[in-house]
Amino acid sequence: MTNNTITQKVCSVFAALGLTLCLSMPALGEDKVEEKPAEETVPKYEVSIELGRVTYQHYCTPCHGVKGDGNGFNAPHLLVKPANHTDAKFMSERNDTKLFDTINLGGVEVSKSTLMPPWGMALGDERVKSIILHLRELCNCQATKNW
Amino acid sequence: MKKSMRLSFKDTRLLLIFSGVITLLVAVMFYIEFETDRPWKGIQRDFVELDETMTEAALAKAKSLPDGSEKDAEIAKLEKRAGLLSAATPTIRQTWLTQFNTADRCMTCHLGIELPRFADSEQPFTTHPGDHIKPNRHGTDAFGCVICHEGQPVGLTVDEAHGHIHHNWMTPLLTGKQSESSCEACHAMSSKIAKDAVMTDAPSFTKGRSLYLGTNCLGCHVADGYKRDAGIGPILTAVATKSDPSWAQTWVKNPKDFLANTVMPDFELADDKIKAITAYLYSLSKPGTAASKARKQLDNNEAIARGEKNLTDLGCLGCHSVDGKDEGFGPDLSRVAEKTTPEWLYAWIEDPTKYWPETNMPKLRVPENEIQDLVAYLSTLQKKTAATEAQALTDPELIAQGKKLTAETGCTGCHNIGDFAIGYNAPPHDGIGQKRVDELVFGDTKIGHNLADWLALKVQNPRAFNTEDIPTLMPNFGLTKEESEDVLTFLLSIRNRNNIPEGFVKSLIDPTATSTIGARIIEESNCLGCHKIGDKGGTVGPDLSFQGERINPQWMTDFLMNPIKIRPEGIEPTRMPTFGFKTEEAEALTAYFADLSKVSYPYYQAEKKNLSAEDMEKAWKIYFQTFSCQSCHAWNTKGGIIGPDQSDLAKRLRAEWVKKYLENPQKFIADVQMPNFEMYPDELEVMTQLIMSFNEIPEAVWDAIKKRWDDELLAKQAAEMGSN
């Protein structure tokens, strides 16, 4: 009787120990991606032309092209040709607010081609503003009109 | 008077009796004195003295505490202890370990082993480190000390109890790292479990086990419960097509000189023996002829630059390095051109399993021009030009001698060679953790005559015990002192522990569990070279932590066996290589990913809802107009090529995941080129249903719908142009 209770005790101790060890095993670690709050996945950035270049290369060049001339590898598959960011005349007609809205909210919100998606949520204000700095570098121009 | 001075016979007898009694009394007194002053009694007196001093100090400290119930309780506790100590009498403290049928008297001297206040005291009174002997783990009432530390538990002197009294004592005391060798008896870690699987509280054992399996000790030795690998070294039957014989000889001479972390050990062979072995190996195959396909881009600087870039983009650097450090999963490539020919490199990249069926190197499935670029770059990687002096290696006598040497040396433990079977008959490791000292040869060494010291030296310097009469053949694996000690811990665990009662055997890692099998395949294929799981791994491929909830299990299994490129060719070079997983391996991995995501496996059925005409219209508007999904995604190759084609997305993704992902793509893949559209819940619902029905839409229907929205867009565009 006493022996049995001891065995049971020892067994349960072992089971608990085994379970704890198994759970703490890093090789079989659990996925922690989901535990992060959503806002943490968009890290904080500081506005800079360098950040603009990098962000533009990653997110914009598939359509607007590595050189910014609207000839990205995806451009032939689009119904409307993407904007040519090296076109000084075209770009100088758009002020920074307009560019910000276009990138942030997408073409549909500024009565332009709906093929341009809204990037604001994915990129955050800082990266959008950085892209604008790079756009001004690409067209080598400033806005002439204020609309 | 005179008479009375003389001793009579009677008196002599009296004297004899008297002196006899005196002697006996003295002997009894000595005996009593000896009995009452056994060494353990002295130790116990020392302990009481030490504890009395400590209690006094603690009492003084307690008295300086601010008044209150806490102070009173503390003082009462200490005074009670002081009382007990003053009344203490020496006693043998014996625990009868009912389950193991063993007596354990170790705590007769190790009195402070369970008392935290002796943590800073010296042996034998110090506290046991860690929380191993807490009652809910390995409590001393059930385990005593002997179950983990061995020794002779009924002994009452240091020598007897620790089992060092005679060098033949079968189970000498295990201390420090070596005591980890006892864990395995109850918590089995067979070779079915991944090499790097961690037994958290046995770091030395874990490391030793990983080294033992990783250096393929089982290639030559056998051990109960451990499975011999199919051969961890490259196949050597076609070596003439790969390397130059002069390179092969410098390699065998000192493998670590060429690849710092190679598993290939140093056999300390004389040059003429190496030459003979090389002659034999090269007699098995013929060198290949120069092939234009492999050499097309050699010395073309543009191709070399493309090849260098592709080495990163294709994920080669997930396993290989080119910095000469050789710390990766695969060999370092900084001197690969010294070792191999362009023809061999081309054939190897094209399909590694053709040369070596058991290799871990996957098939990259890259087109001919990309292989040529890679070969062009790899052919520039050398530190010195190999001397290719012609050597007469065709002498049949030399070849025959080489064949004999190949078998003797133990090359066959790791390599498949000619018609030799994998393996070598080195002494078996069964029961090596309790090998008798008189079975060991110590040669001219001056180390302690015990198993642990012998094994540690044998592992680190295998030929240390060689004498002229007794040469040994074990090669040198170049292990550091610390590594040898860890291997020693592992070797000591291979001992017969048949006294473990049933209820005590508890595997910490279940070898049949999905997670164990999955973890082993992930280790063997080095998935973490390119992919992340949790916060470990590379970033070349997608994070595997959430693939269980993302991917349809059937698609995942098919993909693992026959990977395809999801995005169109030419957009990005990265692609999942073909590892040639068998069905059961692919299924185990799929189950493992499902486990990671805590989703059900193997049964998955997407929940299907039919959208009303109104909802359908709403969904199409979102798809083609509001968010213009077609600008990045194609349907049946019609549309953008940035994202994956969506026509059979329903087969690939789980519906619940599509919805979650659409809501916030960056939550799962931080730098994904998919915007966050901030969709409303109703939009997410209809979009998910629409996308998941894409594989059922007839082409004509799709085309008609697309045309309608395209026309609308063009008309709007024209109006815009007009107004401008």
Q: Which residue has the tokens 């020392």?
A: B46
How far does Cα B603 stand from its chain's mean position? 31
pLDDT > 90? residue A2: no
Is there a contact between B578 and B315 (Cβ–Cβ < 8 Å)?
Answer: no
Which of B571, B667, B713 lies nearest to residue A73, judging by beta carbons?
B571
Does the residue A88 lie in any domain?
yes
Q: So what's the pLDDT on residue B193? A: 87
A45 and A101 belong to one structural domain: yes
Q: Which residues of chain A lie closer than 8 angstroms to B712, CB-CB?
A: none
B504 touches chain A (CB under 8 A): yes
pLDDT at A23 over 70: no
Assess whether A26 and A44 both reside in one domain.
no
**Claim to verify: residue A20 and residue A63 sit in the same structural domain:** no
- Residue B410: strand, helix, or coil: coil
**Contact assessment for residue B294 and residue B245, using Cβ atoms and an 8 Å cutoff:** no
Any B CB within 8 A of A18 CB: yes
Q: Residue count of chain A, please give it.
A: 147
Distance CA B252, CA B262 (A): 12
Query: With an 8 Å Cβ cutoff, is A145 touching chain B?
Result: no
Please check whether residue A21 lies inside any domain of the structure.
yes
Mean pLDDT in residue range A56-63: 93
Q: CA-based Rg of chain A, rounded to a whole angstrom? A: 27
A13 with A57, same domain: the answer is: no
**In a domain? residue A116:** yes
Taking phi first (over 0 means left), then psi (-120 to 50 degrees means alpha), and beta for anything else, what does residue B611 get? Answer: beta
Whole-prediction pTM: 0.80
A112/B720 CB distance under 8 A = yes
Of B199, B503, B535, the CB nearest to A10: B503
Nearest to B641 among A17, A77, A116 (CB): A77
Residues A18, A86: one domain? no
In a domain, residue A144? The reply is no
Which residue of B lies nearest to A39 if distances are taken between CA atoms? B667
pLDDT along chain B (724 residues), means of 10: 59 89 94 80 93 93 88 92 91 92 93 93 92 90 92 88 72 91 89 86 94 92 83 89 91 93 93 94 88 90 95 91 90 94 95 92 92 96 71 86 93 91 90 89 88 93 88 91 96 87 86 87 93 91 93 94 85 85 94 91 78 91 90 91 90 92 91 91 92 91 92 84 63
Interface test with B, best of A59, A79, A123 (most B CBs within 10 A): A79
- Are A20 and A62 part of one and the same domain? no
Residue A146 lies in a domain: no
Per-residue confidence at A26, pLDDT binned at 50, 70, 90? very low
Note the pLDDT of residue B140.
92
For position A128, which CATH number holds?
1.10.760.10
Q: Does residue A97 lie in a domain region?
A: yes
Which chain B residues contact residue A119 at CB under 8 A?
675
What's the one-letter identity of residue B223? A
pLDDT (0 to 100) of residue B4: 54
Domain assignment of residue A147, yes or no: no
Whether B674 sits inside 8 A of A80 (CB atoms) is no
Which of A56, A90, A113, A114 best tests the B interface by mutation, with the highest count of B CBs <10 A?
A114
Task: Identify from B504, B592, B667 which residue to disrupt to test chain A contact, counting A C-beta atoms within 10 A and taking the largest count.
Answer: B667
Residue A89 has pLDDT above 70, yes or no: yes
A10 and A74 within one domain: no
SS3 B97: strand
Report whether A142 contacts A89 (CB < 8 A).
no
Residues of chain A with Cβ-Cβ distance to B591 below 8 Å are: none
Q: Which residue of B has its CA nearest to A26?
A: B198
Closest by Cβ to A33, choosing from B641, B668, B713: B668
CA dihedral A115, A116, A117, A123 (to 10 degrees): 160
Cross-chain CB nearest to A29 (options B137, B534, B671): B534
Q: Is A67 on the interface with B (CB under 8 A)?
A: no
In a shared domain, residues A127 and A59: yes
Does A145 reside within a domain?
A: no
Residues 139-198 in B contacting A (C-alpha not used; CB under 8 Å): 139, 142, 186-187, 194, 196-198
Sign of CA dihedral B586, B591, B593, B599: positive
DSSP string, B323-363: SS---SSS---TTHHHH--HHHHHHHHH-HHHH-TT-SPPB
For residue B197, the chain A residues in CB contact (below 8 A) are 25, 27
Nearest to A74 among B597, B640, B670 (CB): B640
What pLDDT was estimated at residue B196?
Answer: 83
Range of the domain at A67: 39-139
For residue A18, the chain B residues in CB contact (below 8 A) are 187, 506-508
Question: Percent of chain A having pLDDT more than 90?
Answer: 41
Dist CA B448 CA B139 (whole Å)? 33
Is residue A13 located within the same domain as residue A48?
Answer: no
Q: Based on the fold, state whether residues A6 and A47 are members of the same structural domain.
A: no
In degrees and rounded to multiples of 5, residue B52 shows phi and psi of: -65, -45
Q: Which of B199, B515, B631 sits opposite A78 (nearest CB)?
A: B631
Mutate which: B676, B706, B723, vs A, most A CBs within 10 A: B676
Based on the fold, state whether residues A94 and A63 are members of the same structural domain: yes
Residues A20 and A47 grouped into a single domain: no
Q: What's the domain count of chain A?
A: 2
Per cent of chain A over pLDDT 70 is: 67
